[in-house]
Amino acid sequence: MSEQLTEQPTIRLPHSLSAWGTPEFEAVLKREIEQLDAGQLPLQQGLAGSSYVTERPFQAMLISASEGAGLLRVKAGIFYTGIIAGCSCADDPTPIDELNEYCVVQLDIDTTTAAATTVTLLAE
């Protein structure tokens, strides 16, 4: 099962595209993904143990990358945190604990424009 999402504004990864095929590609891609706004990635849809994505920075890990048919297809693991939201009542004994979350996304990057034409949440 996978869920395909196209987010606005368009994700652009020009430095990653420029670094494709070089030893620096992985580090450049990681840095560019981590600079994105969390709302541009399907992190909320990827939650497994919590109900809301926190505002803490997330980390990306390259799983695979390949080129073909005018696009660069990147599969990346995203490490982030979520919370289980309580009722926020004054006597609510449930502390707000952050839970570690992980999801895998696929970005299809147009090799001409460096725009990620699709971002897909993968069920992995």
Kindly state whether residue 33 falls inside one of the protein's structural domains: yes
Residue 79 in any domain: the answer is yes
Q: What range defines the domain where residue 100 resides?
A: 2-83+95-122
Indicate whether 76 belongs to any domain. Answer: yes
Determine the length of the chain.
Answer: 124
Query: Given this model, what pLDDT does residue 90 score?
Result: 62
Say if 89 falls within a structural domain: no
Residue 107 lies in a domain: yes
Mean pLDDT of the residues in the chain: 89
Domain contains 88? no
112 occurs within a structural domain: yes
Percent over 70 (pLDDT), the chain: 85
Look at the chain and report how many structural domains it folds into.
Answer: 1
Q: Is residue 90 part of a domain?
A: no
Give the mean model confidence (pLDDT) for residues 25-34. 98
CA 78/CA 17 separation, integer angstroms: 19
- pLDDT tens string 41-93: 999 999 999 999 999 999 999 999 999 999 999 999 999 999 987 655 666 66
